């Protein structure tokens, strides 16, 4: 199955990216190119909703690691949500999960983002 990538801005500085299909050595450049466009907007957070991702290879995992590194350099972060069991297993095997923010649902992610924003606001008022 080919890869398609959609994205939308959830709120200012938070962009959700939804890859669907197979993310492998033949398709990873599709996601890389879309992420290059997204990074031009300098988002604080890129959320990957992986609900429709059916397969991932090491080339696909590398895309996530690279974007996380790039965002970290500019003070941003990456979060993953809705990982299918087979996708989660690949991240576990490669031992990439400890370095990524993983959320079971969009609701759990929203709570995390709200807490982050409160923390930033409280830090500004001190």
Count of the separate structural domains present in the chain: 1
Look at residue 113 and tell me whether its pLDDT is greater than 80. Answer: no
Percent of the chain with pLDDT over 70: 83
Q: What is the pLDDT of residue 120?
A: 59
Per-residue pLDDT tens over the stretch 16-41:
999 999 999 999 999 999 999 999 99
pTM: predicted TM-score of the whole model, two decimal places: 0.79
Domain containing residue 63:
4-125
69-94 pLDDT, tens digit per residue, is: 999 899 999 999 998 999 888 877 77
**40 vs 45: CA distance, rounded Å:** 13
In degrees and rounded to multiples of 5, residue 82 shows phi and psi of 55, 45
Higher-scoring residue by pLDDT: 57, 96: 57
**CA dihedral in degrees (92, 95, 101, 104; nearest 10)?**
10
45 near 78, Cβ under 8 Å?
yes
Return the pLDDT at 96.
Answer: 56
Q: What is the CATH number of the domain that holds 58?
A: 3.30.750.24
């Amino acid at each position: 199955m080919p890869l398609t990538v959609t994205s939308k801005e959830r709120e200012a500085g938070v962009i959700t990216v939804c890859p669907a299909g197979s993310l492998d050595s033949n398709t990873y450049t599709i996601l890389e190119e879309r992420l290059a466009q997204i990074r031009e907007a300098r988002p604080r957070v890129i959320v990957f909703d992986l609900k429709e991702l059916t397969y991932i290879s090491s080339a696909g995992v590398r895309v996530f690691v690279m974007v996380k590194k790039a965002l970290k350099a500019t003070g941003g972060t990456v979060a993953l949500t809705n990982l299918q069991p087979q996708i989660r297993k690949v991240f576990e095997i490669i031992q990439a999960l400890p370095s990524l923010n993983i959320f079971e649902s969009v609701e759990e992610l929203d709570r995390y983002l709200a807490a982050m924003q409160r923390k930033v606001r409280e830090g500004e008022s001190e």
